[in-house]
Amino acid sequence: MSSRDPSLSLPEPPSELLALSEQLCTRIVKAIEADGFLSFDAYMSMALYEPGLGYYVNGLHKFGASGDFVTAPEQGRLFARSLARQIDELGAELDEDWTLLELGAGSGALARDLLQSLDAAPARYLILEPSAALRAVQQETLSALDEQLQARVEWIATPPEEDFEGVVLANEVLDALPVRAFEIGEQQVLERGVELRQGQLQWTSRPAGPRLVEAVKALQASLSAPLPVGYRSEINLDLAAWLETVTRPLARGLALMIDYGYPRREYYHPDRSEGTLVCHYRHRAHFDPFVWPGLTDLSSFVDFTAVAEAGADAGLDVLGFSSQAGFLLSLGIQDALASARDEREHLALAGEIKRLTLPAEMGEKFKVIALGRGLDLPLRGFSLMDQLARL
């Protein structure tokens, strides 16, 4: 049921994994049959989170060399160590029993390395992770910590009810949130979704409903020129509600979100007329979201202007926006080289710094946004480069 363009040179999954993907396809087809059309956000949600079968919940390996992609915390420890410098600076200003809430902790590498790198660890390190399979991976990773640090970690299913002072952290979580897909039609905005044609999952479109039409209208009004007919892209209609929910308990402190994305004008640039969806399978990136659902990571780039607006709507101050390179270099990631014990370690650290900061690697594609509440201090992570004016 999942189609594959033969020109895509992807390694064929083993038959048991293909069977798992087929099972998920069967459920997707049922959802399509309910009204002949499945919104792309509903498809993305099933492909990533359908119980037992979706990409993030099916228990197959995702991260690192043997997975599908490598995130910054999986490159080594320098990303966490740099973040720790920013968080330590802030922790000193907060209640002594401050809390760190990490959203979507993946393999748990960032949690482990942060807890080991912070000068003063938070009283509580909460992990909000919707995937039971990933929670188990995180528990295994964090079992490497000493008991005193392990005791601070708690897994939660929803944001805490009670307020806290502290930090909310999300690395590569925004890109995994389901998005609507749209196209500018001759007469009207079209919603792009999924149908079953000739036994295959395929793109289709229909006139957009009022919520999507309004959102695209508002988007067009904020751009310097209207999007041309035929232009396709994505929009996250639930971003503001999501951001408000995850930052509501933050009485005082900082929300740091790191992800690949652009300010709005660049996101909806006329040249990006096919949108920003990207799929990862075994370290190959491709653009067909219907290839092997459940086995393939699906994501879209982040509109950071929308994140800033959602933050402001949630009563947060937009305190900083920078490329990942600007942020990590401001925090002195390069200082690690001085502590290398030998030539080999020096080379490894230099390689890691390059991967995290070079423009052709993660340095420019990834951005960092800081949203604060009740804070009145300059953030070191934006001292060399603050690009708020680009949003």
d(CA 180, CA 219): 13
State yes or no: residue 131 binds ligand SAM (CB under 6 A). Answer: yes
Least distance between ligand SAM and beta carbon 27 (Å): 19
Q: For ligand SAM, which is the closer residue by CB, 103 or 121?
A: 103
Q: How far apart are the first and last CA of the chain?
A: 41
Q: For ligand SAM, which is the closer residue by CB, 131 or 247?
A: 131
State yes or no: residue 137 binds ligand SAM (CB under 6 A). Answer: no
State yes or no: residue 13 binds ligand SAM (CB under 6 A). Answer: no
State yes or no: residue 125 binds ligand SAM (CB under 6 A). Answer: no
Of the candidate residues 41, 129, 234, 309, the single one contacting ligand SAM (CB under 6 A): 129
In this structure, what are the phi and psi dihedrals at residue 227, rounded to the nearest 5 degrees?
-70, 135
Q: For ligand SAM, which is the closer residue by CB, 48 or 94?
A: 48
- Of the candidate spans 81-89, 98-106, 270-278, 322-330, the one that interacts with ligand SAM by CB under 6 A turns out to be 98-106
Least distance between ligand SAM and beta carbon 92 (Å): 25
Q: Annotate each residue in 162-181 with x if it binds ligand SAM (CB under 6 A) or - if it does not, as one string.
A: ---------xxx--x-----
d(CA 80, CA 356): 11
Which amino acid belongs to residue 322? S
Q: For ligand SAM, which is the closer residue by CB, 302 or 329?
A: 302
Residue with tokens 């708690």: 154
E-strand stretches of the chain: 38-39, 99-103, 124-128, 153-156, 164-171, 180-184, 189-197, 200-207, 232-235, 250-262, 278-281, 284-286, 297-299, 302-303, 317-323, 366-373
Whether 72 and 171 have beta carbons less than 8 Å apart is answered as yes
- For residue 99, the number of C-alpha atoms closer than 13 Å in the C-beta half-sphere is 22
Which of the residues 73 through 92 are near ligand SAM (CB under 6 A)? Answer: 73-74
Strands 366-373 and 250-262: antiparallel
State yes or no: residue 145 binds ligand SAM (CB under 6 A). Answer: no
Contacts with ligand SAM, residue ranges (CB under 6 A): 56, 63, 71, 73-74, 103-106, 110, 128-131, 134, 171-173, 176
